[in-house]
Every structure is written in structure tokens, then in C-alpha cells.
């Protein structure tokens, strides 16, 4: 006679086998044509990922099926710096997944790494067994294996995905991406352009080619979508358009993101687009680690800086723990130091702006595969930035739907700050007297 416990065990095994068989059948079902994330007739503007791309899907019996491959990738942070990173489908971050509230989605994840992995769908409401925490809610995905995640999207908002297996290593070397869920109903206040990017930090030590996952604080590169200035795409818009920028943070630090030229509204997060009564005007918004934020603004003509306001996050490779040379007279020691360190150039007595000048003139070549700390040229000279810095470029004549770089802004006459004197003693400015 079969006991109650044996009966329940047999029944449970049968249910599990049926569930696995069902998923397997659906995965192997006949594919519909592969589609981009946003098809014609959808009630939203497709999101544009800075320096990134959107993952296409196939329709299988009413389910949108996506396929991610975790793998090692050769990634360029900017011309002159390439590293062995990990990512998805040939890129870091991985492609943006874009779907609609109410969609049933199936995401196949193939592990092309030499160690196990998983994917956690950060901020998304789903069954526990689809949450992607290795060892807790699912078995690890072994090398060469493909797992299927399947769930119905019950919310909208700006979300992310990343591993929950050997997380310190796998995230540190680039495994992450954005997951955008649009509301089912058309938004009452629609946007004309929808951008997204994810922030991260990297310890790519000077002269090396692989990020160091053991570093906790002293990072060398700070990135928007795994790129540093001047390689980060601009945010392009037509004058008067309503623009949304979705930002996620999977770095090891918080980022006060500042946009010049407008007073934007903070309108959403991974909790979706907030009620309009919760929108608040800002010019800088802190994005905490593991958070997402949406900002919206009406585009004003010009070239506007858009960057993290942590000043060392807008620099490229920096030397940590180097003695402070500010205000130090280094005359007479340059020749002596060059005897033991050929190529040394004394600098920094009056500031570090001369660093870009030396590099641009070829006087001071840095280590192999290492970017200059400050870089970038604009219409009026050196921009002296790096890291988490890009521009918002708004023009009257940008065609709707055109995201190409329009070049530098031609400012109307009389609207650019200009020199009025070269005399250091010019005028009679008031000064506070020392006590």
C-alpha cells in the first residue's frame, strides 16, 4: 500500500515534471519572426540606450521570448582603453530588455562562462523561484547550460538585471543591464524621447587589460553604460520636446547626477512613473546604489553638460595616494627625477589643467591601455573631463526621431561669455578683509 507521504512525493514529482515538460515544450515551440522590443502600434516611445542596444524577442504562443548569453567580451571604454570584461550577448552592459506591463515573458539565459551564474531581475515582482538568487531560489546555471525564466509583468517602471552568483566578481567585471517595462495604458503626459543608461565603476589598473574585482573604493574608471567621456553618446533632442532619461546604479557608490540648462522633474523609479503630485523639480538627483530614477524635462536649445557631481567621478584613470604637488615649487628636481623615472614631467604646482595639454601634445604618454585623466575638446578649447560626463544637445532643426550627433551648438551672437580684459588688476572688486 502507498503511504500518504509517498503519494504526496510522487504527486509533487509529477507536477514538477509536468511543469518542466511544459516549459521545455514552449521553449521548443515554433518561432514567430524575431521582433525589435517596440513594434509599430505600441503605446510608447521605444527607449534608446546610450551606447547600447535593445534585445529583440520572438513571439511563441503569446509569450515574448528573449535570449541572453553570459560571456566574456572585449570592451572599449573609450579609444585607447580595451579590457577583457564579462557581459551579455557581446556587450557590457548587456542589451536593454523592453516589454509592456501585462506581457508574459520568457527569458532564456545561456551560460558561456567557465563558472556558474544566475540572473536576478532587480525590482521586478515575480514568483520566488524566478528571482535568480543562486542556491536560495534556484540551482546555479552551470557552464554551457541554458535556464528559462518565465513570468508575467505585473508592474511598469525602470528596472535592472544582474547576477546573484559570485556577485562581487561578476558585477565588477560588467554583468548587468536595464529592463524597461512600459505601462499598459498610454501615459497621460507622454514623452517624445526616452533614454536610459546604467552607472558603474571599474578598477582597470594602469597598464592592465582586465578589471580587478577586489577593489572596493579606489576605482579608475566611472562609466555611463560602460563608457567614459568623450566616448559617451550625447542625449539629443529637438527644442521643446519632452525628454525622459532613466538612470540605474549598480556601481559601488552613490551618484548625484546633475543636468545643466534645465530644472528637470523627478518622475519615477523602479516603482513606476509616480503620481504627478509626487513629481518634484530638481537640477541634481542622487541615485543610490541599487536604485533607479527617471527624470523628465522640456528641451532647451544649446549644448548642456550632464554628469555626476562627484568631481573625481568625472575623471579617467587617476593616481591614488600620490603626494600633493599643489603650490609646490618643483624647479630643479625634474632632471633628478628623470634619471630614475624617464619621461617624468613636473606639473601640478598651479593646478592639473596642464595635464591634458601635455598629453594632447604628446609630451606625457601614460601607461599602455590607460586613458588620460582629463580629455575632450569642445568648440572653445579643452573640456578637461572624463568618466561620467556627457552632453545634452538640443537644436531647433533636429528631426523628430533623429538621434544623430548634431555637432557643436552655434550660439546666437552676444550669448557667449567673452574676455573684457587681460589685466589681472582690472576693476575694483570688493574683498573681505582678514581679521
Nearest Cα residue to 29 out of 62, 51, 76: 62
| 298 in any annotated domain | yes
> What's residue 329's pLDDT?
87
C-alpha cell read off for 338: 628623470
> What's residue 31's pLDDT?
61
Q: What is the pLDDT of residues 158-180, one digit of tens each?
A: 999 999 999 999 999 999 999 99
| 181 in any annotated domain | no
Q: What is the pLDDT of residues 373-394, one digit of tens each?
A: 889 999 999 999 999 999 999 9
| 215 in any annotated domain | yes
| 285 in any annotated domain | yes
In terms of residue numbers, what domain contains 256? 201-313+388-395
Beta strands in 1-122 (DSSP E): 48-49, 58-60, 63-78, 81-88, 97-100, 104-111, 120-122
> What's residue 265's pLDDT?
98
| 306 in any annotated domain | yes
| 131 in any annotated domain | no
C-alpha cell read off for 260: 545643466
Q: What is the pLDDT of residues 240-282, one digit of tens each?
A: 999 999 999 999 999 999 999 999 999 999 999 999 999 999 9
> What's residue 326's pLDDT?
86
Residue 17: what are its φ and ψ, rounded to 5°?
Answer: -60, -40
> What's residue 26's pLDDT?
63
> What's residue 16's pLDDT?
39
Residues lower than pLDDT 50 in the chain? 1-2, 4-21, 39-41
| 262 in any annotated domain | yes
| 307 in any annotated domain | yes
CATH number at residue 266: 2.60.40.420
Count how many domains the chain has. Answer: 1
Amino acid at each position: 500500500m502507498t503511504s500518504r507521504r509517498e503519494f504526496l512525493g510522487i504527486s509533487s514529482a509529477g507536477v514538477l515534471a509536468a511543469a518542466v515538460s511544459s516549459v521545455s515544450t514552449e521553449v521548443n515551440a515554433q518561432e514567430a519572426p524575431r521582433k525589435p522590443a517596440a513594434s509599430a502600434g505600441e503605446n510608447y516611445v521605444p527607449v534608446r540606450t546610450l551606447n547600447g542596444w535593445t534585445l529583440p524577442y520572438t513571439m511563441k504562443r503569446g509569450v515574448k521570448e528573449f535570449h541572453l548569453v553570459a560571456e566574456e567580451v572585449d570592451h572599449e571604454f573609450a579609444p585607447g582603453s580595451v579590457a577583457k570584461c564579462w557581459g551579455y550577448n557581446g556587450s557590457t552592459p548587456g542589451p536593454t530588455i523592453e516589454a509592456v506591463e501585462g506581457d508574459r515573458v520568457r527569458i532564456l539565459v545561456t551560460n558561456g562562462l567557465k563558472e556558474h551564474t544566475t540572473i536576478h531581475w532587480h525590482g521586478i515582482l515575480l514568483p520566488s523561484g524566478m528571482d535568480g538568487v543562486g542556491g536560495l531560489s534556484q540551482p546555479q546555471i552551470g557552464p554551457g547550460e541554458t535556464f528559462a525564466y518565465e513570468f508575467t509583468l505585473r508592474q511598469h517602471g525602470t528596472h535592472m538585471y544582474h547576477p546573484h552568483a559570485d556577485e562581487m566578481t561578476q558585477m565588477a567585471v560588467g554583468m548587468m543591464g536595464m529592463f524597461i517595462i512600459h505601462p499598459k495604458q498610454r501615459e497621460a503626459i507622454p514623452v517624445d524621447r526616452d533614454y536610459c543608461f546604467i552607472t558603474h565603476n571599474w578598477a582597470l589598473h594602469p597598464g592592465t587589460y582586465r578589471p580587478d574585482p577586489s577593489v572596493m573604493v579606489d576605482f579608475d574608471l566611472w562609466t555611463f553604460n560602460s563608457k567614459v567621456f568623450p566616448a559617451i553618446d550625447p542625449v539629443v533632442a529637438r527644442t521643446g520636446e519632452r525628454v525622459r532619461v532613466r538612470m540605474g546604479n549598480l556601481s559601488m557608490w552613490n551618484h548625484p547626477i546633475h543636468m545643466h540648462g534645465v530644472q528637470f522633474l523627478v518622475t519615477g523609479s523602479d516603482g513606476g512613473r509616480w503620481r504627478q503630485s509626487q513629481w518634484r523639480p530638481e537640477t541634481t538627483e542622487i541615485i543610490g546604489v541599487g536604485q533607479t530614477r527617471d527624470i523628465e524635462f522640456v528641451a532647451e536649445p544649446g549644448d548642456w553638460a550632464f554628469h555626476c557631481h562627484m568631481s573625481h567621478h568625472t575623471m579617467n584613470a587617476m593616481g591614488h595616494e600620490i603626494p600633493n604637488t599643489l603650490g609646490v615649487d618643483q624647479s630643479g628636481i625634474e632632471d633628478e627625477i628623470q634619471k630614475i623615472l624617464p619621461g617624468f614631467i613636473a606639473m601640478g604646482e598651479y593646478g592639473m589643467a596642464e595635464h591634458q595639454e601635455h598629453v594632447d601634445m604628446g609630451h606625457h604618454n601614460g601607461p599602455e591601455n590607460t586613458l588620460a585623466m582629463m580629455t575632450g575638446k569642445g568648440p572653445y578649447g579643452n573640456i578637461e573631463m572624463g568618466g561620467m560626463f556627457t552632453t545634452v544637445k538640443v537644436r531647433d532643426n533636429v528631426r523628430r526621431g533623429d538621434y544623430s550627433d548634431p555637432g557643436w551648438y552655434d550660439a546666437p551672437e552676444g550669448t557667449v561669455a567673452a574676455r573684457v580684459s587681460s589685466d589681472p588688476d582690472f576693476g575694483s572688486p570688493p574683498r573681505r578683509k582678514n581679521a
